[in-house]
Amino acid sequence: MGSFVKGMAYEIGGRLMGAIIDNMVKSPKSQLKWYQGAAHPRYPNVIADNSPNTWRPAEGYVWANPNDSNDWTVILKKSNRASYFMDSNSLPSNISYQVVYGGSDGVNLRSAPGSKDIIATAYKQSVIAIHGLSYKPYFVDNIPWVKVKLVGWMAKKRHDKEYPYILPVQGNLAYVAWDGGDDESDNFIALKARPNISTTRIAKVYTNTSIRISESQDNGNYEWVKAELIGWMALSNRNGTQLLSEIEQ
């Protein structure tokens, strides 16, 4: 099954993302070597399998959506999986969200509901780019979370720079390779509504986040790719402030 290997009896899966480890080994910030059980550099409760370039859920966890190699959410084996994901054939394509929270800190996209792991940050804007992937909110500590997909354009490479921003993994899967260098505040690639550097930013997508890419476009200075990423966003915060607004099209 390509990048995703599933054990029929135990739902033990592996996902190909060896380029991340290759990049980490070359980085002066890390001397990581591939070994079984090593924690994934981005996604919690995902660990290295015994074969190089494969990943699986940690002990006691399973993939939330074993049919999507771009969805790295893992859940406890005893959890109700139906609360976490939807079959791609039955997605409510008319349900979308937009950020209504106007704070400068934005609304975070996380790898799991309630997780501290932030894979992107979205900002208030008029462009609808957040597509619902869950039937209803999933509550963690009384905070409602929804599973969503962000879609937009990202710069894959600037032609006058040697280091690419995004690197391929397999097929149409890729990951954010840019880590900001010596500037830790620059560890993201902007997600935009159009493939233009001056276009308003929809979100910041952070280093080592898995994305799926489709079409590409070159405007002379940059090579752009249309990208989608999956994660969880809170509808409101602990204070009851609304963060996202649902839109039916």
Range of the domain at 62: 4-79
Structural domain count of the chain: 2
Provide the mean pLDDT of the chain: 76
Give a yes or no: residue 88 inside a domain.
Answer: no
Same domain for 57 and 139, yes or no, is: no
Instruction: Please give the pLDDT value at position 182.
Output: 79
Residue 135 pLDDT greater than 90, yes or no? no
Please report which confidence band the pLDDT of residue 101 belongs to, taking 50, 70 and 90 as the band edges.
very high
Tokens 């009896």 found at? 9
Smallest CA-to-CA distance from 61 within 73, 48, 49, 69 is with 73
Helices (H), strands (E): how many in the chain? 1, 19
From 2-11, 61-70, 96-105, the region with the lowest mean pLDDT:
2-11
Average pLDDT over residues 98-108: 93
What's the pLDDT at 78? 58
Q: Is residue 85 part of a domain?
A: no
Structure tokens at 8: 């029929």
Domain co-membership, 39 together with 110: no
Together in a domain, 71 and 9? yes
Same domain, 125 and 206: yes
Q: Please give the DSSP secondary-structure letter assigned to residue 236.
A: B
Is residue 84 one of the residues assigned to a domain? Answer: no
30: three-class secondary structure by DSSP:
coil
Q: Tell me: do 146 and 231 sit in the same domain.
A: yes
In this structure, the answer to whether residues 56 and 179 fall within a common structural domain is: no
- For residues 114 and 233, state if they share a domain: yes
* Interval 18-47 mean pLDDT: 60
In a domain, 87, yes or no: no
The answer to whether residues 22 and 72 belong to one domain is yes
Q: Enter the pTM of the model.
A: 0.68
- pLDDT computed for residue 219 by the predictor: 86
Helix (H) or strand (E) holding 205: strand 201-206
Domain termination residue (choose one: 22, 45, 79):
79
Given 18, 46, 79, which residue is the final one in a domain? 79
CA distances from 113 to 94, 97, 116, 248 (A): 22, 17, 9, 23
Residues 19 and 108 in one domain: no
Residues 9 and 122 in one domain: no
> What are 187-210's pLDDT values in tens digits?
899 999 999 988 888 999 998 888
Question: Is the confidence at residue 215, as pLDDT, over 70?
Answer: yes
pLDDT at 89: 44
DSSP run (H or E) holding 156: strand 143-158
Q: Quick check: is 90 in a domain?
A: no
Domain identity same for 203 and 140: yes
Q: How confident is the model at residue 248 (pLDDT cuts 50, 70, 90)?
A: low
